[in-house]
Chain A
C-alpha cells in the first residue's frame, strides 16, 4: 500500500530531521512542517476523504501512530535542546564574582553619638529614662545646687565659659555673669530632682564645655553622660553593682572594675571607677601606664546637701550619681589618638565607624 509506505518514509525522514535540528527554533520548523496546521503529516489526516473507504481505518491508524512517534521524538528533542541551550546561556552569563557589588552607600553615625546611644541603651535596659537639659545654664544649676563652694577653682573664668547675661540681673557669685556654658550635665539632675516625681532613675547625656585649649587629649567642648538615682534604700552596693554592670556591658564581660575613694563636692562618699585594661588584662602596659587599670568615671552617693537643696529629705531617700566622659569611653574602645578628629568632620575619620 502506497500510503502506508509513504507514511513510513515520512516518519523516517521526520525522525532524522528532528535528530538533525540543532536548536529549538530549527526543531520548531520541523514541527510546523510535519505536524503543524499545514504540515505534511497533518495533510494525510486532512486528505483522509480521498482514501478508499476500506483503507481508511488502516491509514488513519498509521497516521496517528506516525504522529505519536513524531510528537514524542519532538518532545524528547525539545527537552534536550532546551537543557543544552539553558546550559549554554548560563555558561555565557557567568561573571567575575570578585567585581564590586551594587550597594547603596549608607551613612555612618558619629563615634561619640553612637557611643552615647550605646551607653543610654544599657541604662534603658536597667530601667532608666534619658533626660536632657539646656547647654547654657545658670551658675546655680551648674555649681551651687551641686554643692560646689563659691570659691571653687572650677568656677573661675579660667575654667568655665561665662555668657553675657541679658537680663540685667547682678551676678551673685562672679563679677560679670551668672550665666555659663554648662561644665557638666549634672544640672539636668537638679532640674529632675526639682521637677520629677520620686523615684528618679535617669541618665543625662549632653555636650559640656570647659576652657581647655584643643589638643590631642582635650577639647573645649565634649560629651558627658551623668546618671542619677534617687529612691528609698539605695546603697553604695547598688552604685557598685550598677557601674560594674555598665562597664561589663560597654567594655566586655571579662573586664573588672575597681572603686577608688575620691572627692567630689556633690557626692559623698565619692569614688573614681577604673576598668581593667583591655590590652594587658591587668598586667600593666603602655595603654594603662603600667597600672593595669583605666580610669573611666567618677561617682558617689548623692550628697545630702544636694538632695536637701532640691527639696528631697535625705533621711528618707538616698541615691547615687555618676558621670562618664563619652570621649574617654570611645577613645578607650577605639584607640583614637587625637580628640580633635571628633570635631573636624573629616570623612575619612567619620566613615570608619
Chain B
C-alpha cells in the first residue's frame, strides 16, 4: 500500500520526523518497506528574499544583491546570513520574495550552480526564472513570489511538489488499512491525534430519470455478494483528470487514465472501496435498460478482461453480467467490452462487496491480482458502500461534468452488524503483564472508531466498527491496545512457574552420543534433500522390499524431487559425486534423518529415523609422518564399532550379506549389522555399478542404520568390571585355516576353548601365502591374554591352557597351529 504523506496529512497531522514516524509504524504493526521522496529535482533550491540590491560597480545592468535564504547560509556563529548574489534580471526590487538556487544545486539541463565571480564580484548562487527551473518557457525575469511567501523553505515544499510516499506492508487482517482513511485512523490512534475525514456532498439532478428506472440489479446468491449498488451518472465528458486528482492516484501507485477511471481509483485508495465504472450504453438491453445480474460463472465460460486477456472461468468465480453476457469478473477486473472510452457519456457506477474467499481463489487461479481483488480478498465493509458511491458520484460530477441521476439501486442481501465485545481490564492487565491506564485503553479504542461504554466497572462494553473485521473477540481488542500503547513499554519477565524441568529424553541423549561418536570417527555431518527421484532406488540397485511405497507429492517442484526419500544413501552418494567432481577426493559424510514409507490404506506415511554414513577416498592425504590409507569396508565397520561402544550396545555382530540380499553392495564386502538378534542395518562398499550410476568414483563405503533400533539396543552405560590387580600373561598363536573360516567363528571357538583364564582375544595378523601357508588357506594370528582375578598366573598354568586350546581348535575347525 503506497501512502502519500501529503495526502495523509490532509486528514491527520503526520509527524515531521520521518524516521521516527516510520519506526513507530513498524513497531505498531505497519511495516515500512520503502520510502520514496518526490520533488528531489529541486534539491538546494529555496525560497528567499532580496534584502539589499545595488548596481554592480562595473556594469550598468547587473545587480549585486544580498539574499536572505534563512538557515541555508549561516555565519560563524550559526546565525542566518544573507548570500551575495550577482543578478542580471530587471524585474525585481529590494524586499521581493524570490527563488534562489544555492551553490551545489543542479538545474534542468544538468547545469550545476558554482561559486563564481562576475566582473570581479563574488556570486554565491543564482536567482531563478521559471524557465531556468524548467517550470515554463517564461524568461521575462526571475520568479517573484507573493509577499507572504516564507523564506528559506525548499522550493519543492513551497510548491507542494515535495512529497514522501511510503510503501507499507499491510498485514492480511487489516483490510481497513488499505485506504487513506484507514491509515489516517491508524495514525490518529498511534499518536492519539484527531482525524478529519473528507466530506462529499452529492447533488442529484432531479430532472434526470431515477437510477432505478435506468437499471435493475439481481444478485443470485447473497453469500457471494452481500451488497451491490448501482448509480447512473449522465453527460460525463471523458478527459484528462485535473492535476490534483492525477497526482493523488499517481502517488498511490496507479496510472492516471482519464477523469472517470481516476475517480474510481481515487475512491478506492481513499476509502478502500473498489468501484467499477461501466459504459452504461454498452450494458443496455433491448428495453433500453441495463439489467445487472450477479451470478456464478459457468464452467468454461469465456471472458475478456480489461487488460485484453481472454480468460476461461469456472463455476467457483462470480461474474457481473447482463442477460446477454458477462461484463465483469466480480471483485477482480472489469471487461474489455464495457469499459469507459473517450466517447462514453453515461456511467453506471458499481459499488459492491464480494465474498473474500471466492475473490481470492479467482484472482489466484487466473493469476490476476488487482487493487480491487487485493481488497476484496481481505474483506470490504458493506455498511458504508452507499456513502462511498455517493462520494464517487459527487466527484464525477465535479471533475467530469456529469449529472447524477437521482437514487441508487441497492441490493443489500447480507448486512454485517457491528460486534459487541467486552474488555475486562483486570484480565487484560493479567495477560499482558503491564498496567495500562484505563483512560488510555478507552482513548485508544475510541480512536479506532470503537464505541466504548464505561460504567466504571472492570469491564468495558465495546462496539467494534464494521470496517474492522479482525476485531471479533476480546483478545483482538487487547492486541489493539497493547500495540498502540506500546509493546516496548511492557517490562520483560520470565515465567514464574515452578513446575518445569528442562531435560532431554533418553533417545535425544542417545542421538547426541551418536553425533559425538560419528564426529569422533572423523565423519562430517551433512543434510541432503528429503525429496527424491522416483528412479533413485533402481539406480542404486537397492531393492524396495521393506521400504514401503514411495510417498508421492501431488505438486512437486520438479520430477527429480517428486517423491520423498526411502533411503538417505542416494543423497549422500550425490554429495560424494559432487565433492569428487569438485576435486575433493576425501569425503567422510554422515546424516541422520527421516525416510518415508507409504502404505495402502494409511493416510500418513511411516517415518523412520535413519543414520547413514559414507566414506570415499581417505581420511586425509598423506603427511610427512602419516601415510594415507584408502577407505575400505573396515573403515565403515570401525565407525559402527566405535558407535556401538559409545552406545554400550551388547552383542554387536556383522553377518555377510550375499549378492541377492544386497545387490547394491559389492558382494564379499557387505554385512548386515546386528545387535544380538535384532537387525540394526547394513554396512558395505557400494556396488561399483551403483557408484557409477551416480557418477561417483568407487570405492565408496557406506552404512545405513535404523536409529530406533540403535536406541533400543543401546544401554545407558556399560557394566563395571573390576580393574585387574594381577599381571596378565600374553601369548601369540597363529592358526592356519581354510579361507571360509571367519574371524567370528575363530573367536567363538577360541573363547570357548580358552577357559575362564582367557580374558582377551585380539586378531593381529592375517597372512596368505600359497607356498608357505597353502592354497586356499590363511594364517590368522591371535594375541591371547590370560589373567586370573585372584593371583599371579604361573607359566605352566598358561602353557597348559594354551595347549588345550590349540588341540580343541584343531579338532573343531581342522586348524593347524603355525610354529
Q: Name A's B-contacting residues (CB within 8 A).
A: 99-100, 102, 104-110, 112-113, 117, 123-130, 134-138, 150-151, 153, 156-158, 161-169, 176-179, 181, 199, 201, 207, 209, 211, 213, 220-221, 229, 231-238, 240-242, 244-245, 258-263, 268-271, 301, 303-304, 318, 342-348, 350-351
A332 to B535 Cα, complex, angstroms: 37
The answer to whether A235 touches B430, judged by C-beta atoms less than 8 angstroms apart, is: yes
**Of listed B28, B478, B487, B488, residue having the most chain A CB within 10 A:** B487
| B482 contacts A by Cβ under 8 Å | yes
CB distance from B350 to the nearest CB of A (A): 24
B90 contacts partner chain A, Cβ-Cβ < 8 Å:
no
A220 to B527 alpha-carbon distance, docked (Å): 13
Measured in the bound complex, the distance between the Cα atoms of B123 and A301 in whole Å is: 65
Task: Report if B586 contacts A (CB, 8 A).
Answer: yes
Asked whether B557 is an interface residue with its Cβ less than 8 Å from the other chain, the reply is yes
Which residues of the partner chain B approach A231 to less than 8 Å between Cβ atoms?
495, 497, 499
- CB pair B554–A162 under 8 Å, yes or no, is yes
Given contact pairs A236-B487, A269-B483, a sample of 6 additional A-B residue pairs in the complex whose CB atoms are under 8 Å apart? A162-B554, A201-B495, A229-B495, A235-B433, A237-B432, A346-B584
Partner of A150, one of B171, B172, B357, B587: B357
Which residues of B524-576 have CB atoms within 8 Å of chain A's CB atoms?
524-531, 549, 551-557, 561, 564, 571-572, 574-576
Q: What residues on A are CB-neighbors of B582 within 8 Å?
A: 346, 348
Chain B residue nearest to A223 (CB atoms) is B527
Task: Report A-chain residues with C-beta under 8 Å of the C-beta of B584.
Answer: 346-348
Q: Do A235 and B432 have beta carbons less than 8 Å apart?
A: yes
CB-based contact B505/A134 at 8 Å = no
Q: How far is the CA of A290 from the CA of B495 in the complex (A)?
A: 34
Give the complex CA separation of A260 and B24 in angstroms. 9
Instruction: Assess whether B487 is in contact with A262, with CB atoms less than 8 Å apart.
Output: no
Decide if A261 touches B28 in the complex (CB within 8 Å).
Answer: yes
| Binary flags per residue of B1-31, CB closer than 8 Å to A gives 1, else 0 | 0000000000000000000000000111101
B433 touches A166 (CB 8 A): no
Q: How far is the CB of B32 from chain A (nearest CB, A)?
A: 9
Contact B502 A271 (CB under 8 A): no
Q: Which residue on B lies nearest to A198, using beta carbons?
A: B499
- Known pairs A220-B531, A236-B432, A270-B479; A107 contacts B522 (CB<8 A): yes
Known: A100-B624, A260-B29, A261-B28. A211 touches B529 (CB 8 A): no
Q: Does B503 contact A (CB under 8 A)?
A: yes
Q: Does B173 contact A (CB under 8 A)?
A: yes
Give bound CA distance, A216 to B790, whole Å. 68
The answer for the CA separation of A105 and B530 in the assembled complex, in Å, is: 29
Q: Which of B26-63 contact A (CB under 8 A)?
A: 26-29, 31
In the complex, which of the residues A108, A123, A156, A240 contacts B364, with contact meaning CB atoms closer than 8 Å?
Answer: A156
Q: How far is the CA of A77 from the CA of B515 in the complex (A)?
A: 60
B525, A102: Cβ atoms under 8 Å? no
Rounded to whole angstroms, the CA-CA distance of A226 and B136 in the bound complex is 62
Among B171, B519, B524, the residue within 8 A (CB) of A347 is B524
Task: Evaluate contact between A110 and B526: CB separation under 8 angstroms.
Answer: yes
User: Contact at A109–B488, with CB atoms within 8 Å?
Assistant: no
Nearest chain B CB to A162 CB, angstrom units: 4
CA distance A186 to B83 in the complex (A): 66
Considering the chains assembled together, what is the distance between the CA atoms of A74 and B235 in angstroms?
135
From B596, which residue of chain A is reached at the shortest CB distance?
A136
A351 adjacent to B602 (CB under 8 Å): no
Q: Indicate if the CB atoms of B553 and A236 lie closer than 8 Å.
A: no
Tell me, in angstroms, the Cα distance from A237 to B431 when the chains sit together.
Answer: 9
Contact A167 B555, CB 8 Å, known A99-B625, A350-B525: no
Chain B residues closer than 8 Å to A169, beta-carbon distance: 603
Indicate if B493 sits at the interface (CB-CB under 8 A). Answer: yes
Contact A269 B482 (CB under 8 A): yes
Q: Is the CB of A238 within 8 A of B551?
A: no
- Cβ of B761 within 8 Å of any chain A Cβ, yes or no, is no
Bin chain B's interface residue count. 35 or more
Measured in the bound complex, the distance between the Cα atoms of B282 and A297 in whole Å is 53
Q: How far is the CA of A201 from the CA of B431 in the complex (A)?
A: 17
Q: B588–A107 contact, CB under 8 A?
A: yes
| A126 & B502 in contact (Cβ 8 Å cutoff) | yes
CB-based contact A124/B555 at 8 Å: no
Residues of chain A with a CB closer than 8 A to B173's CB: 263
A-B complex: 3 closest residue pairs judged by Cβ atoms: A345-B575, A235-B433, A237-B433
Closest approach, in angstroms, between the C-beta of A206 and any C-beta of chain B?
Answer: 9
Residues of A within 8 A of B491 (CB): 237, 240
Once the chains are docked, how many angstroms separate the CA of A163 from the CA of B555? 8
Determine the residue in chain A with the shortest Cβ distance to B587: A347
User: Is A241's CB under 8 angstroms from B494's CB?
Assistant: yes
Task: Report A-chain residues with C-beta under 8 Å of the C-beta of B604.
Answer: 134, 136-138, 179
20 intermolecular pairs with C-beta atoms under 8 Å apart: A106-B520, A107-B522, A110-B525, A124-B503, A129-B503, A164-B551, A177-B554, A181-B564, A201-B495, A238-B433, A240-B491, A258-B27, A259-B488, A260-B27, A260-B28, A262-B31, A263-B172, A301-B431, A347-B584, A347-B588
Q: Are B500 and A151 in contact (CB under 8 A)?
A: no
CA distance A106 to B639 in the complex (A): 12
B553 partner residues in chain A, CB cutoff 8 A = 161-164, 181
**Which A residue's beta carbon lies closest to that of B427?**
A315
A231 CA to B522 CA, complexed, in Å: 44
Cα–Cα, bound, A74→B564 (Å) = 84
Please give the distance in Å from A97's CB to the nearest CB on chain B: 13
Q: Are A233 and B430 in contact (CB under 8 A)?
A: yes
Query: Which chain B residue has the least Cβ–Cβ distance from A203?
Result: B502
Say yes or no: is B360 at the interface (Cβ < 8 Å to chain A).
yes
Set of chain A residues within 8 Å of B357, measured between Cβ atoms? 150-151
Given contacts A106-B519, A236-B482, contact A345 B528 (CB under 8 A): yes
A105 touches B599 (CB 8 A): no
Taking CB atoms and an 8 Å cut-off, the chain B residues in 470-529 that contact chain A are 473, 475-476, 478-479, 482-483, 487-488, 490-497, 499-505, 508, 512, 515, 518-529
Contact status A163-B605, CB under 8 Å: yes
Least distance between B544 CB and chain A CB atoms (Å) = 16
Taking CB atoms, residues of chain B closer than 8 Å to A110 are 524-527
B479 touches A127 (CB 8 A): no
B607 contacts the other chain (Cβ, under 8 Å)? yes
Cβ of B601 < 8 Å from any Cβ of A? yes
The answer to whether B620 has its CB under 8 Å from any CB of chain A is: yes
CA distance A169 to B529 in the complex (A): 29
With contacts A130-B504, A220-B557 taken as known, whether A166 is within 8 angstroms of B488 at the C-beta atoms is no
Q: With a CB–CB cut-off of 8 A, which chain A residues contact B551?
A: 136, 163-164
B528 with A237: CB separation less than 8 A: no
Tell me, rounded to whole Å, the shortest Cβ–Cβ distance linking B379 to chain A.
Answer: 11
Partner of B603, one of A138, A207, A346, A350: A138
A162-B551 Cα distance, complex, nearest whole Å: 10
- Assess the B505–A237 pair: CB atoms within 8 A: no
Report the minimum CB–CB distance from A245 to chain B (whole Å).
7
CB distance from B293 to the nearest CB of A (A): 25
With contacts A126-B494, A261-B479, A346-B579 known, is A167 near B602, CB below 8 A?
yes
B356 within 8 A of A: yes
| Binary interface encoding of chain B residues 156-177 relative to chain A, with 1 for a CB under 8 A from any of its CBs, else 0 | 0000000000000001111000
Chain B residues with CB under 8 Å of A207's CB are: 530, 593-594
- Shortest Cβ distance from residue B702 to the other chain A in the assembled complex, whole angstroms: 13
Is B623 among interface residues, defined by CB-CB distance under 8 A? yes
Contacts of B199 in A (CB 8 A): none
Which residues in B have their C-beta under 8 angstroms from that of A268? 475-476, 478-479
Q: How far is the CA of A231 from the CA of B593 in the complex (A)?
A: 32
* Beta-carbon nearest neighbor of B360 in chain A: A151
B residues near A347, Cβ cutoff 8 Å: 524, 579, 584, 586-589
* CB–CB B525/A107 < 8 A: yes
CB-CB nearest in chain B for A259: B487
B600 interfacial contact with A, CB 8 Å: yes
Query: Chain B nearest CB: distance from A157 CB in Å?
Result: 5
Beta-carbon contact of B492 and A240 below 8 Å = yes
* A124-B502, A167-B603, A244-B492 given; A235·B27 CB < 8 A: no
Q: Which A residues are CB-close (under 8 A) to B118?
A: none
B432–A261 contact, CB under 8 A?
no
- The answer on a CB contact under 8 Å between B29 and A221 is no
